[in-house]
Structure 1
Amino acid sequence: MNKEIDWQICQGLPTRIYRNLGNGLMSLTQQIDKRWLLVGHTSNVALEYPKFYVSEAGRQRVIREGRKNVHAWAVGRLAITERIDRSDLKQIYYCPYTQPYFTWLGGNEPVNEAELLIVIDNRVFCTSNYRQPQLALF
């Protein structure tokens, strides 16, 4: 069962995104009253300032049991964007069997956060030039 997303209501709220192993789409949950509730499923979405998380206990369970489970996700703010500059986007990748973190496709360097995460036709891309904002002292 696919749940339709009300994009206008959900925009700007903290959103967790992960690949749904049952339907192959991305599942979106939003934090409401300290609980993460399912908003819907999609193959195209944008998150601003995502941070990437991997539960090491969940990853070890996948390796030990050989069965997949949801143990890796990104959290950011749901964005509605009309135009996207794709020149700075690189595909991001995660495989529990080879590394305990997200990385650029074909790379080995950990990716912990980005300025923008875009899912296009169920493939995940992020901006590659993100730099952590520095605190300016005056």
Structure 2
Amino acid sequence: MTAQASQEPTMTANIIHPVQGRDPHAGRRVAVYRNLHKGAWSIKALDGPHKGTVVAHAQVVGLLDCAMHVRIAAQQRIAAGAAREVHAWIVGRLSEVTLDQPTRLVYRPHERPEFYLAITGRPVHTAAAVLFTDHAYVNAA
């Protein structure tokens, strides 16, 4: 896979589709993960009135103050050939995001138990901002 780097800022206008009338902005923190069945990003509330439920799906979404999470036991099962399950996500606050030097962020459970930069292989555990479009992107550091 290729990495994307750009000299121009990248901005998102979030394209979020609420699930069952839920407000994705009702809580402070959300978890975002790739929904392989829908071909979109799922947004799960981590607090607020819809805590613990998927509140929306998105084609484009931005998060600030991000932390990457991987459940290692599930990743090991998947790497050994078990069925897919949600076991890796990025936590943050929904926001419009601008990236000055976007670099592709990847997670491949059959290769590594962490998120990392596609271009360098450097692990990424936190980020000021993540932009989810066709792939996930962070500012190159």
Looking at secondary structure, tell me which structure has more strand per residue. 2
Asked whether 1:29 is paired with 2:44, we answer yes
SS of 2:74 mapped into structure 1: helix
User: Could you give the per-residue CA deviations for residues 48-69 of structure 1, whole angstroms, max 9, x where no partner exists?
Assistant: 0110011111101112234221
8 A contact 2:22–2:50 mirrored in 1:
no
CA distance in 2, matches of 1:9, 1:56: 27
CA distance in 1, matches of 2:138, 2:64: 10
Which of 2, 6, 19 is matched with 2:34 structurally?
19
Change (3 A) 1:24 1:34: closer
Change (3 A) 1:127 1:93: same
Give the structure 2 partner of residue 117 of structure 1.
Answer: 130
When normalised by structure 1's length, the TM-score is 0.77
8 A contact 1:46–1:80 mirrored in 2:
yes
Question: 1:55-66 maps to which residues of 2 (within 5 A)?
Answer: 55-66=71-82
Question: 1:24-103 maps to which residues of 2 (within 5 A)?
Answer: 24-31=39-46, 32=48, 35-81=51-97, 84=98, 86-103=99-116
May I ask how many residue pairs the two structures share in their alignment? 123
Which of 123, 128, 134 is matched with 2:140 structurally?
128
8 A contact 1:114–1:128 mirrored in 2:
no
Which structure is richer in relative contact order (CA contacts within 8 A, separation 6 or more)?
2
Larger Rg: 1
SS of 1:36 mapped into structure 2: coil
Q: Which runs of 5+ in 1 are unaligned?
A: 130-138
When normalised by structure 2's length, the TM-score is 0.76
Looking at secondary structure, tell me which structure has more helix per residue. 1
Q: Which runs of 5+ in 2 are unaligned?
A: 1-15
Give the structure 1 partner of residue 13 of structure 2.
Answer: none
8 A contact 2:114–2:124 mirrored in 1:
yes
CA distance in 2, matches of 1:80, 1:8: 16
